[in-house]
Homo-oligomer: A and B are copies of this chain.
Amino acid sequence: MKRRPKTITIQDVARKAGVSVSTVSRVLNWKSDVSEETIEKVRAIVRELGYASSLAARGMRSHRTNVIGLIMPDVASPYGHEVMRGVNRAIANLDKDLLIYTSGSWEKEDIDYYERSYVMLLNGGITDGAIVVTPTSTHFRTHAPLVIIDPNTETPDFPAVISTNREGAFAAMNYLTGLGHRRIGFITGRLILASANQRLQGYKDGLAAAGIPLDEELIAIGDYSTEVGITCARRLLSLADRPTAIFAANDMSAMGVYQAARELGLHIPRDVSVIGFDNLREAVYLNPPLTTVDQFLEKTGMVATEMLVKLAAGEPLSLENNLYTIPTQLVIRDSCARPLPCAG
């Protein structure tokens, strides 16, 4: 069973080169006080053996690995992908690598999933710091640099990047009411998350600003997924007094609305207007192209990375309240129209 080539350690290199381990270590770390001759010899052996120092052992000692950590609930969602794109892009220009940690599903997280994962990565210093995406808790305990994307509190313990969720939702509502809509359905996000609540607040504020009374029946509890979005939309669109527009808390849910509308033979935007939130890559391809609130996720990832790199380099950030805010922006496409005069 153990017949395969055994893991190669720095010792193997040292032995084969006829020097001590510390000499090899110095060669690898570009220390200056080694003879040319030895350097050559060692490098040759290193190449020959295909040796590379273990991240684990190296990080544990030197407390510096040039690796950035990214901790995500899952790595399959379009949301996550956008953030990853940004981080990836930032990292690509740097002399650093990226390590993404995930359990593959936010359903698997118990309360302190994040606590555990970030600690596992950072303790012993596998990474020089980490970006944590949409943590439910914010009570991290570490000395290593940490940047949070979309934290669940307005006063996070660590530097964080946030979007203007409430304002973005408010802008979407203004657009809808400006178009003449008065019965507007809302599909919420995962209400454990602050972002979901802020968007809900934006919805309510938008209603209030237009003098429209809140009708609880028009609020459907979603979870940011397309599947539940479909269910929510079905209910909303089957109401006796059907809404003339639906505001989905994210684009994935909005795609659910598209699906439900198709099932019910409803045309978008003629029979029902739809507006989303996120501006995923897919939004522009939908039929009709989706009007939505852009929250610049890719930029969010880039900014978070830059912040983390600064932090890891020991530079200060000087942010107010630890918060870097990325303003949202309404992107108008073809999924909204004035309500039919006969309706309502």
Binding site for B on A (CB under 8 A): 1-2, 4-9, 47, 49-60, 74-76, 81, 84-85, 88-92, 94, 97-105, 107-108, 112, 115-117, 119-126, 139-144, 281-282, 285-286, 314
Least CB distance from A106 to B in Å reads 10
Least CB distance from A331 to B in Å reads 17
CB pair A84–B75 under 8 Å, yes or no, is yes
- In angstroms, Cα B291 to Cα A70, docked, is 36
Q: Nearest 10 A-B pairs (CB), nearest first? A: A285-B285, A56-B124, A54-B124, A54-B123, A92-B104, A91-B104, A52-B119, A92-B105, A100-B100, A56-B56
CB pair A101–B92 under 8 Å, yes or no, is no
Q: For residue A145, which residue of chain B has the nearest CB?
A: B4
User: Besides the contacts A8-B123, A52-B117, what 15 more A-B pairs have beta carbons closer than 8 Å?
Assistant: A6-B143, A7-B119, A7-B122, A54-B126, A55-B120, A55-B124, A56-B123, A57-B60, A76-B89, A91-B103, A92-B105, A94-B104, A99-B100, A100-B101, A100-B102
**A102's contact among B1, B90, B97, B139, by CB below 8 Å, is which?**
B97
Which B residues touch A54, using CB under 8 A? 60, 119-120, 123-124, 126
Q: For residue A88, which residue of chain B has the nearest CB?
A: B76
- In angstroms, Cα B50 to Cα A122, docked, is 13
Which B residues touch A49, using CB under 8 A? 141
Number of copies of this protein chain within its complex = 2
**A7's contact among B99, B105, B143, B281, by CB below 8 Å, is which?**
B143
Least CB distance from A22 to B in Å reads 18
CB pair B52–A120 under 8 Å, yes or no, is yes
CB pair A56–B97 under 8 Å, yes or no, is no
Least CB distance from A279 to B in Å reads 15
